[in-house]
Amino acid sequence: MLYSFDAVQARLEDYVYVPDKNFKLTSNGFPSMEASLAQKSRQYWADKSIPNEVKLDGLDFDLSEFDPENTTTRELMALRNALEDLGIIDPDVGGIIGPMNCDFNAAGHQTNFGKKIDAFAYLRLVLDDTKKYVEDGHGFAKGVLVSMNTALAVMLALKERAAEAKANSLIDTRV
């Protein structure tokens, strides 16, 4: 089992859910135990009864300067690593969040590591393309769609946390 799946399992051990077939992953290459854990993680992120603050519990990044609509792949990679290490997301969702909009040269080196991107615009573009694949009957796309929606939920939670952190950083605590 991959390390981050151990972290996800530890994080979600108290989360009680009824497996929903809409969150079942299609052939993603994970062994069955990891696939069921990834399904549980996606259902957890879709569960509206759990506040985003709880879902991001343990993430101690200062997000006051983070803006997902004006971020870099470098920032997203750092967030992905932290989120995976804490078990907040599994590697499949991390694989969507971290390398968003990466460009590579012929030698395989990333060329836009510090270039600003809009994570939400990128996710919308990929979601639209994925929906077309689902409509065309491609079975693999259903699992990708679930993962993309989970990545979007995570990014929205991070945006919410960043807005709270920014508001708190504007308060003068030196009085």
Q: What is the pLDDT of residues 94-150, one digit of tens each?
A: 999 988 877 778 887 777 777 899 999 999 999 999 999 889 988 778 888 888 999
- DSSP conformation class of 102: -
pLDDT tens string 69-101: 999 988 999 999 999 999 999 988 999 998 887
Judge contact between 156 and 48, C-beta under 8 A. no
Residue percentage of the chain with pLDDT more than 70: 91
Question: What's the predicted TM-score (pTM) here?
Answer: 0.86
pLDDT tens string 3-14: 678 899 999 999
Q: How far from 155 is each of 22, 32, 98, 143, 151, CA to CA, in Å? A: 21, 27, 11, 18, 6
Average pLDDT, the chain: 86
Vertex 91 angle, CA 13 and 10, to 5°: 15
Helices (H), the chain: 3-12, 32-46, 52-55, 73-85, 91-97, 119-135, 140-169
